Amino acid sequence: MRGKRSKQYRKLMEQFSMTFGFREPYQILVDAEMIKDANRCTMDLAARLQSTVHGKVKPLITQCEIRKLYADKDQPGGNAAIELAKTFERRRCGHHPDEYPKPLETIECMRSVVDPKSTGENKHRYVVASQSLDVRRMLRAIRGVPLIYIKRSVMILEPMADESVQIREREEKRKFRAELKNTLGKRKREEKEERNGDDGEGDDDGSESDNEKATQASTSEKKPKKNRGIKGANPLSMKKKKPQQLPKKEAGKKPEAVSDAPAKRKRRKKTKSENGAEPSAQEPAPSNAGEEN
């Protein structure tokens, strides 16, 4: 369980890094309750934070939060909490005692620190460790805030909030589309070449084996025209053509069918031959396989 979760958290933090630009040392805003709870279950807070986010951490505590700890000084564990908090860097939230005789509620202080301009963005790329569900819920609405809490002595890194997931997906789609554009461009070019070379090819009896084809391809470089123009050494187009051999058995009588088919069938065949399946096995297989892709 621990191992699995650990892997999961590593991946999650990688996603935060890629999509939102998080970097080590991770700045982790810790609230007063988090410090108290960590002490209560004798957890080495800084060390545990570090192993949870899989990287160096810089724990921070706001002025408001440490004031709360001082206010609870006389309660059991009060001093220990203060001592622990003192080892963390102070984050100036700007809520001075003269202006704010009482420290701000955690939810308000955190909001002002994480998203000072209310733009819905985690401007300084804080990770937040808070024991308050309300605080975490508020922060889930801000894009790109990794959230941590302790539950029964176990430190939990929340899955990415919907808001952030959407951004991540949008970003990935964008990248994917860009790549697709590139490969599509390439493929179109290849298909053109293929089509030019195909005309004779389609009428073949389709009995050639891979090897024969391969050798043909390589020899065709030396004697160019002989082989209905299979393009020399392009292994990609070679593989793609193969699929056409299957349909041929059926469609051999009417060549038009062959020329209709290429795009889908090519794919299917390819996987088939990779699996080592009998090409001529059954007819239904082709269309199914094509759809899967």
Interaction site with Zn ion (CB under 5 A): 62, 64, 93, 95, 104, 109
Q: Least distance to Zn ion from the beta carbon of 166, Å? A: 30
Instruction: Please answer whether residues 150 and 34 qualify as being in contact, where contact means their C-beta atoms are separated by less than 8 angstroms.
Output: yes
Could you tell me which residues are beta bridge partners of residue 154? 151
Q: Least distance to Zn ion from the beta carbon of 54, Å? A: 29
Which H or E run includes 196?
Answer: helix 162-201
Q: Least distance to Zn ion from the beta carbon of 100, Å? A: 7
Phi, psi dihedral angles at 279 (to 5 degrees):
-65, -35
Q: Please identify, using beta-carbon distances, which residue of 104 and 139 lies nearer to Zn ion.
A: 104
Q: Least distance to Zn ion from the beta carbon of 101, Å? A: 13
Q: Please identify, using beta-carbon distances, which residue of 12 and 93 lies nearer to Zn ion.
A: 93
Q: Please identify, using beta-carbon distances, which residue of 57 and 109 lies nearer to Zn ion.
A: 109
Which H or E run includes 151?
Answer: strand 147-151
Tokens of 146: 């990794």
> How does DSSP classify residue 103?
P
Q: Please identify, using beta-carbon distances, which residue of 95 and 270 lies nearer to Zn ion.
A: 95
Burial class of residue 13, CB neighbours in 10 A (0-12, 13-18, 19+): buried
